[in-house]
Structure 1
């Protein structure tokens, strides 16, 4: 299993100089979540962007890394605003791997519970699932990417009815 960190809200930290939340170029939030886990996961920081800044080239980079990896199971830490868009893009390329996208509505630095829960659920699901596919793990739900979406009015992910 390979954890790919593309940035997003989960990773954001407050910059005391300019007063803004920024996506740092590190894996500190993920490392802190996993520090008490007995198993060592491979983590690759690759994009470090808010998902609203992600473009087709960033999605192609994700796909290329997945394509070239010896792993068949991936967790992608991703911003919530375009998580579905990236999941859809990846679903057009891959049907032979397990790819779980997860993130957080609040930065780990501000609320570490949501981030920890989402990543923990994604890891557990990735270990238990036998079916390939592109999944989203958010707000206590894990479903195929086209069965869950972000409700921007409520600020949470919901199952598609």
Structure 2
């Protein structure tokens, strides 16, 4: 092998080593970017889990207050206590609904109009019944405004379980 061939082979070997090191560096950089992306996904999942935990805690507290208010409505002989409990329930419902009808309100209203309301709701918990009745009441209020009858109020016998107590 001549000196020129040896020099050419050494130059090619240096280029091959340089290319291998560059490829290793690019691979390491790509892997680091992938790990950063995975870390961002995990942070987002952790944030969502924390938010869900906070929401669940708030929902439990609201359900407890709602249950206590319902107990006062069902058991108290004091009109002021009953009125206050109903006011609290109204505030909770307004806060949770944001005074805006949801897309499901119309569906519940249809069940109220066309279905066997008492039968359907008799298979629910009280909280579920209240949720469904609140949806019907919200949609009824929207219809009442559309009919230019804002003082119409809730449909009669909507919350039948309260009457049976």
Give the TM-score of the pair, scaled to structure 2.
Answer: 0.25
Taking CA–CA contacts closer than 8 Å with sequence separation of 6 or more, which of the two structures ends up with the larger relative contact order? 1
Higher strand share: 1
Q: Which structure has the larger Rg over C-alpha atoms?
A: 2
